Structure 1
Amino acid sequence: MTTKNTAGWVRSWGASPQSAHDGIGSLEGYPPLADVTLRQVVRLSGGGSRVRVRLTNEFGTAPLTVGAARVGLALPGGGVRPGSERVLTFAGAPGATVPVGAPLLSDPVDLPVPALAKLSVSLHVPGRVETCTCHDPALETGWTIPGDAVAAPALPEGALVLPVRALISAVDVLPDVPAGAVVVVGDSRTDGAGSTPDTNHSWPELLAARLVERGMANSYVSNQGISGNRMLHDGIGVGALARFDRDVLATPGLGRVVLSVGGNDLLISAVPHDGPLADFLKMFPGDPVTTDDVIAGHLQLVARARDRGVLVYATTIAPFEGADLYTPEGEDARRTVNEWIRTSGAFDAVLDFDAVWRDPAHPGRIRDDLHAGDHLHGNDAGYRALADSVDLSLFA
């Protein structure tokens, strides 16, 4: 099987959209988004000569009006590099209305961007956003500014930090050479929970940097992790099986898929739902699932990806002993699924993240120097270890 390279658009950055009500609650208590400019920064994985931005109202309850929008190369602290500013249009108009439940692609703009560049995206929202489609949390600082400030070269006074990715879900670029997208679908460990904000230290972002450093800049990486996500049930974000077409298979330039899901399904199914974590577990509806269910889910994702003619890789599920959700039953399930991932031959390659993170003296635990203090998520060093463990020849 060969991957698809394309001379057309390729996704260079992505963040899976979700409802503000189905996240970790970062917008609770935040001022309403009404007559404000959202200025957000994204780090591209690959470069090109043209850029387009994908807006999202996919979880909105009313049409979303965008009055004006601009992009440019970001400067630290919310500024935009002089000379790089470009006005975004939509079917030639300076603004647009995004229907309920829909995304909206901007018109392309000529803007040379190098690999790993940080792009500033500014949107003026003149009305009130009743239900914000977002990605929670952001892990890269953005801001809301009163009024229409899309043309402001520096961050004006009165800006508030925006704790989510709001109303944008992707940036596509037109590469100078044929390139393909690597899409990673996963949960909080893919999303980068536990890493230092504003450093781009999720393992998919670190993998993108490794590829560029090794001269393999024709493989772009899109991180489609959602913190708290599961494969088989909705809850915190739509389940991976349900969002796979939108977040993965519809990706421009798709060439490879990395599956890093199923761990939360196993953990949450094994925890008693009438115990001390009962209130927390209300965010995770649905009947318990078995190891066979998670294996079947992987096989479904593989089959759907291969219908697109792309390579499919999988990661093993890293340890979690010591975390609040740990149970011996969940650990047994994790090991069973990992053994299947390693030995089944269902995937074109396996990234053994369990082997990278586990403590040799306590194989059910993450090494103390690699987790964020919760025995569940990586720290910067932990995510670096995952990215460094990946065989880059898989992306050649």
Structure 2
Amino acid sequence: GEGARADEASEGGESESEEGDPVVDNVERAAKLLDQIIQETVEQIFVEEAVEEVIPGDGDNDDGSRRKGASPDVDREAVLRAVVRKHLQELDGSFMAAISAYVQVAESSGDFGLLSLLAAIREEVLAAVSGEMQPDIQVVQLLARLVSIEDRLEVLRVANRGGGQALGINVPAAPIEKVESTAARLIDEMEVQENVPSWQLLYQLLLVRETARQLHPNVDAAGVYGTTVVSSSFSPSEIPQAEAALIKELCVVNEPMARRAFVMDKFEQCRELDEYRDDKGGKVKLKRTARGFTPRSDGPTDGDTEEPGMDVFDVRDIRPGRLIDCIINMRVALQRDKADERIIDRLSAMYFETCDVVLEQADRGNERTMADERARRELGDSA
């Protein structure tokens, strides 16, 4: 069945979990929960369809015969909703990452039935969790699913004014300050992990955070957030070494497009390495990195060879949200110290250039997602 096929995505992690790595444990626990939800859903639908075959509903087949090949009238969405809500309290931040890993395996094997079920599970989980969220979390989730800059601005303004209708959606009341701090907290939780659970979600959340910051009361005349950022992943007095080294390299590049291309290249390298999956099961290969805070030991780690030319910092340690926070904090510190305005202006430019890269990465991901969905629909229709 579909649950058995999905098992491929969680194979191959036993030897790593023996070390007691909490990240591996979380991934494996989420994979087991997803297996359970898939299995319970498929079994419940099978049982209800079997019952419907034997005892049709009152409105079914008035002539007493079922059209040959027709599926029994079972509310599959209701079945899935009941299963998801049964396990709602067990869901954590690793669950959506587990769904993404299973989707990759299902796509590679052409299992469109499982893909459809995974998409339905994802939507049902989001809907169930949204119902229990605080208003600021609901607004962040809504904003993270919007593609248009104009739509994000409209929803943010409506939320900040006390809530109401925007884009045909009922938007809860949430001040911009709360939206910014909530998005920032979610980003910190994703970036402090050794492997980012979902880069696409990270980029979407970054768009939410930076849009909120650019409308925030603390924004300065240049349009940049003008107050020291307090992050849960590093203290205000601390500059993570990977981001500091990257900023240092960017500061000596005079051409804006060259700086932008440099940031784009580093983000793409980091994502590719972070999302590396072994060939056997599609499981995330968890690499140990310093996360930018402690010097790396010489030589390869965990059997991987170090990137050439990465003697200053390891590209795997770069995190987009942390880089933006560091640029803001360096700029605030230099303004406080009455530093050369040219340096402050350079950091302002770097802030907007990095935001542009985040926007482009998010747009690319949205385009890929829409293309994949179109392809799945077309293949499903032709099947």
Fold equivalence (TM over 0.5)? no
TM-score normalised by length of structure 1: 0.26
Task: Give 1 or 2 for the bigger CA radius of gyration.
Answer: 2
Which structure's relative contact order is higher, taking Cα pairs within 8 Å and 6+ residues apart? 1
More helix by share: 2
